[in-house]
Structure 1
Amino acid sequence: MLPEEFRLRLEADGIQLDDRQMAQFADYFRLLVEWNEKMNLTAITEEKEVYLKHFYDSVMLALAVRLDPTASICDVGAGAGFPSIPLKIVFPELQVTIVDSLNKRITFLTHLAETLGLTGVRLYHDRAETFGQNKAFRESFDYVTARAVARLNVLAELCLPLVKKDGFFFALKAAKSDEELAEAKPAIAAMGGKFMEEIAMSLPVGGDERHFLVIQKKKETPKKYPRKPGLPNKQPIK
């Protein structure tokens, strides 16, 4: 998927990109490849693959669920900025917060946001467990998202404490896993969440599947969650 194909496909999906937004995506691709030579950001560096498997893949969340374009979204373990930065380019009024445990990635994302002229983007070098216990951020976001970070039972503990009541946690997965969802049900419930639906979509080129797990926050998360750094991964809730 080359840049113009990306633009036309999104147009067919009901999303119009102007020249400035296309230039932002072009700069994003250029910086991703440039910085990837000195630090590990992605294994995907070919232009048509980046536009398909990173940019379009990220924007697919907005095609799967109806996002409020002015909402606040926290991206946990965003890596090179997916899905939150492509969503921010498409929806400039979206308020984006990114938390990542690797400071090198935060340095890249800071430079990226400045180069692309993005406002309303906050970046934090922190562990999700610590961040989720911070009163300034806890239960303050309309949406929280995570893309291929960990198994769902771990993600639920890392992400749901950050979601405000009646807000949503979106887990982005490359493959359907009924087993993973089943094992995560106790963790989702313990965090005050409720699994709503799984939306399956396919990439327009190649047909690779993508799965969007939609979990709504129904009750406040007990204060003991998330537990200390490392514990959700070592001892997932059962």
Structure 2
Amino acid sequence: MLNESAKNSLIQGAKDLGVSLNEHQFNQLDAYLELLLKWNKVFNLTSIRDPEEGVKKHLLDCLGIIPVLEKMQRQGLPMRSLMDVGSGGGLPAVVIAVCFPELKVLSVDAVAKKTTFITQAALELGLKNLRAKHSRVENIKEKFDVVTCRAFSSLKDFVSLTESNIGEPGMWLAMKGRRPDAELQELPSFAEVTEVIDLHIPGLGEERSVVLMRHI
């Protein structure tokens, strides 16, 4: 379990982000981070070793996009299925699956040990809406309402590799550090930016943004 300081950081950070976590969801995120750090000792899933750092740089960082997804839902955009590309240790796929239990989430990564971990995490956390697939994204043939990534590649490569996976209507959501102005200029003609949102992650002190795009 999280130590008291890390626990308080998660509780307060979620509130500051405007994310409402019930007790069950909080416990799932707590157990997920504990599992990630435990597996990390053997499988090197993340460079982070400290629970409080894990809360800020992993959990809160990914919770920052939850209000964005909730806004999309309120706007009537379909939110039945989501694919997270290059999930690594399950970020943001696991966090999204916890916060949206009715959303079917597929986590894709080309590294087998990472998808093995996500499969085990889904089992231990009781996330029946989350599955993982060991594959290169270009080999995925399914279509999704939302396709996400976090530090995966350039925006151009992200949308090009997943163009065939975007449903109609569908949205891309790319998590970035600072606002990627140069990358925005290189997008192919089929991808239209609908919004670029600057995120303020509690306690992080680093620039974060999210780029929303639709297929045209």
Q: What is the TM-score with the length of structure 2 in the denominator? A: 0.89
Corresponding residue to 2:73 among 68, 73, 83: 68
**1:7-62 residue CA offsets vs partner (Å, 9 max, x unmatched):** 23323444322222222112111111111111121111211111111111111112
Give the whole-Å Cα distance in 1 for the aligned partners of 2:212 and 2:65.
10
Q: Does 1:208 align with 2:206?
A: yes
Corresponding residue to 1:156 among 155, 159, 166: 159
**1:88-130 residue CA offsets vs partner (Å, 9 max, x unmatched):** 1122212101111111111111111000011121221111111
Corresponding residue to 1:179 among 168, 179, 182: 182
Q: Conserved in 2, the CA contact under 8 Å of 1:145 and 1:159?
A: no
The aligned residue for residue 169 of structure 2 is 166
The aligned residue for residue 53 of structure 1 is 57
**1:179-238 residue CA offsets vs partner (Å, 9 max, x unmatched):** 12212x22xx2xx321112111121114311111110123xxxxxxxxxxxxxxxxxxxx
Give the CA RMSD over aligned residues. 1.8
Corresponding residue to 2:34 among 27, 30, 55: 30
Query: Among the aligned pairs, what percent are the same residue?
Result: 31
Q: Conserved in 2, the CA contact under 8 Å of 1:160 and 1:169?
A: no
Give the whole-Å Cα distance in 2 for the aligned partners of 1:202 and 1:101.
30
Q: Conserved in 2, the CA contact under 8 Å of 1:7 and 1:16?
A: no
Long gaps (5+) in structure 2: none
The aligned residue for residue 120 of structure 1 is 129
Q: What is the TM-score with the length of structure 1 in the denominator? A: 0.81
**1:130-182 residue CA offsets vs partner (Å, 9 max, x unmatched):** 11xx2xx0xx2110001101111111112232111221001111122211221
Give the whole-Å Cα distance in 1 for the aligned partners of 2:150 and 2:83.
12
Give the whole-Å Cα distance in 2 for the aligned partners of 1:130 and 1:16.
36
Q: How far has the Cα of 1:76 moved from its partner?
A: 0.7
Query: Is the radius of gyration larger for structure 1 or structure 2?
Result: 1
SS class of match (1:45): coil
Give the whole-Å Cα distance in 1 for the aligned partners of 2:66 and 2:33.
21
The aligned residue for residue 194 of structure 1 is 192
Give the whole-Å Cα distance in 1 for the aligned partners of 2:61 and 2:179.
16
Corresponding residue to 1:2 among 6, 18, 23: 6
SS class of match (2:13): helix
Go from structure 1 to structure 2 and tell me whether the alpha carbon gap of 1:144 and 1:49 turns closer, same or farther (over 3 Å shift): same
Give the whole-Å Cα distance in 1 for the aligned partners of 2:32 and 2:167.
30
Q: Which amino acid is the alignment partner of residue 157 of structure 1?
A: S
Q: Conserved in 2, the CA contact under 8 Å of 1:78 and 1:98?
A: yes
The aligned residue for residue 119 of structure 2 is 110
Q: Which amino acid is the alignment partner of residue 102 of structure 2?
A: E
